[in-house]
Structure 1
Amino acid sequence: MGVSTASPEKGIRVVTVDFPPVNALPVQGWYDLADAVRTAGRDPGIRCVVLTARGRGFNAGVDIKELQRDAGHRALVGANRGCYEAFAAVYECEVPVVAAVNGFCLGGGIGLVGNADVIVASDDATFGLPELDRGALGAATHLARLVPQHLMRALYYTSRTATAQELHAHGSVWRVVPRAELAAAALELAQEIARKDGCLIRLAKAAINGIDPVDVRRSYRFEQGFTFEANLSGVADRVRDTFGKDTFGKEDQQS
């Protein structure tokens, strides 16, 4: 359980997240993920990072139970900072990051894949931000990188999800494959990227980030301010206390 890394082939680092039952990350988990991605990017022998997850789904966001156990705001601040660091680590990784998405990709998961360079998804993958149902805000910055602006707003306001096939139609998912083929498909793409010159691929990543029309770090930080306001005002607690069963049909209460 936790964040692990492996190097199955030359030039490729696989970062795997495993936090049962639904990969809702505790505060330390976000920092561990950020460290693993940054360490991989700084390794001169690595030319591509694959971000993947074990279990029922790719990511279910933050561990809401951890927030509810904290009578103050320490856990909330930690989750905000941890997510910020993990999302930034993916975006700023010196080499391309391929996200291999299985099952649900919700909340903080959108922040990760929205900042990745390429997304490969299983045919059962779904993407969404149930934040308004969880007493939270944020990651609209990253959802807007996956779907057109008005669809992003509709998904955000309704907490609905989009399928991998729908995102593929919008051009934000590179390939959709059967779940059993996901790891191989992501590795195949990583191999193609890793065959490029190591110095040139790093220059390419820096160049593409440099022409990005959206400053993802600043825009996400702006969103986080409203999340904290919702918590200070008591709105977040009121909303969180009203839902019993989560998206996965269990009392997991993750977001």
Structure 2
Amino acid sequence: MGVSTSSPEKGISVVTMDFPPVNALPVQGWYDVADAILAAGRAPGVRCVVLCAADGCRGFSAGVDIKEMQREAASGAGGRSTLLGANRGCYEAFSAVYRCEVPVIAAVGGFCLGGGVGLVGNADAIVASDDATFGLPELDRGALGAATHLSRLVPQHLMRALFYTSRTATAAELRAHGSVWQVVPRPRLRAAALELAREIARKDGYLLRLAKAALNGIDPVDVHRSYRFEQGFTFEANLSGVADRVRDTFAQEDK
């Protein structure tokens, strides 16, 4: 369990998230994802990184581990270390995908929710299974954030409707909007992601790094500043007490 890195082929690194059953990442997990992706991108022989979930997880990611926050609240300590850690960890992990020196492919199977959208929205390409769904249930979880990244996957008005309703969009819908490269049956997901990674990895490694820096430089959205702006409202929701009330309701419904 945790985050691991493998090298199935020359020039390709695969970073795997394994937090069963739903890949809800604890605080340290977000930092581990960030470290693994940045380390893979710095490796001289790597030309493409694939980010995926372990086979034993039901989906790509359910986002932040809400139960970790609940355990801290139930302890009576009154601290906010888990909340602060999750916010900082998410920022670092999302940023790492964007700042990785080489292209990052997100291989998405099953659900991709909350922080999962943050990771995928900053990826360079997305390969998804035909049962993949994407969404931000943040308003139902006492949180905000990652609209920055959802807006990189769907048009502005659809992003807003999805955010307000906590509904999800399918991989087929995202492909229609041009944000998903390929939709394949779930058993074919890893192979399809590696096929795309293999095609990218045939390019010159130095030129790929220049290309990644150039594309980030012309990006119309400053993903770092935009997401940090969103996080400020997440903190306001927590300081006001409304986030705790909503999280408590979610925890009761989840039992």
What TM-score, normalized by structure 2, do the two folds share?
0.96
Match in the other structure for 1:157: 164
Match in the other structure for 2:38: 38
Identify the match of residue 66 of structure 1 among 61, 65, 68.
Answer: 68
Report the AA paired with residue 86 of structure 1.
A
Match in the other structure for 2:75: none
Match in the other structure for 1:137: 144
Match in the other structure for 1:17: 17
Shift of 1:24: 0.3
Shift of 1:189: 0.2
What are the Cα deviations for residues 139-161 of structure 1, in whole angstroms up to 9, with x where unaligned?
00000000000000000000000
Which deviates the most, 237-246 or 190-199?
237-246
Indicate whether 1:48 and 2:48 are aligned: yes
Identify the match of residue 188 of structure 2 among 170, 176, 181.
Answer: 181
Report the AA paired with residue 57 of structure 1.
G
Residue 120 of structure 1 aligns to a residue whose secondary structure is strand
Indicate whether 1:127 and 2:129 are aligned: no
Which deviates the most, 67-76 or 3-12?
67-76
1:1-255 → structure 2 map (5 Å cutoff): 1-54=1-54, 55-70=57-72, 71-244=78-251, 251=255
Residue 127 of structure 2 aligns to a residue whose secondary structure is strand
Moved over 6 A (4+): none
Gaps of 5+ in 1: none
Q: Distance in 2 between matches of 1:108 and 1:235?
A: 20
Q: Distance in 2 between matches of 1:109 and 1:152?
A: 15
Computed over aligned residues only, the root mean square deviation of the Cα atoms, in angstroms, reads 0.9
Shift of 1:241: 1.3
Report the AA paired with residue 198 of structure 1.
G
Q: Distance in 2 between matches of 1:157 and 1:245?
A: 22
Residue 241 of structure 1 aligns to a residue whose secondary structure is helix
Q: How many residues align?
A: 248
Question: Quick check: 2:127–2:192 contact (8 Å CA) kept in 1?
Answer: yes
Q: Distance in 1 between matches of 2:201 and 2:187?
A: 23
Question: Quick check: 2:62–2:111 contact (8 Å CA) kept in 1?
Answer: yes
Shift of 1:67: 1.0
Residues 159 and 194 (structure 1 numbering): CA distance in 2 closer, same or farther, change over 3 Å? Answer: same
Shift of 1:244: 4.5
Residues 245 and 182 (structure 1 numbering): CA distance in 2 closer, same or farther, change over 3 Å? Answer: farther
What TM-score, normalized by structure 1, do the two folds share?
0.96
Q: Distance in 1 between matches of 2:201 and 2:250?
A: 45
Shift of 1:243: 2.4
Report the AA paired with residue 4 of structure 1.
S
Residue 90 of structure 1 aligns to a residue whose secondary structure is helix
Q: Distance in 1 between matches of 2:100 and 2:134?
A: 23
Q: Distance in 2 between matches of 1:198 and 1:228?
A: 41
What are the Cα deviations for residues 174-227 of structure 1, in whole angstroms up to 9, with x where unaligned?
000000000000000000000000000000000000000100000000100110
Shift of 1:245: 6.6
Q: Distance in 1 between matches of 2:36 and 2:149?
A: 21
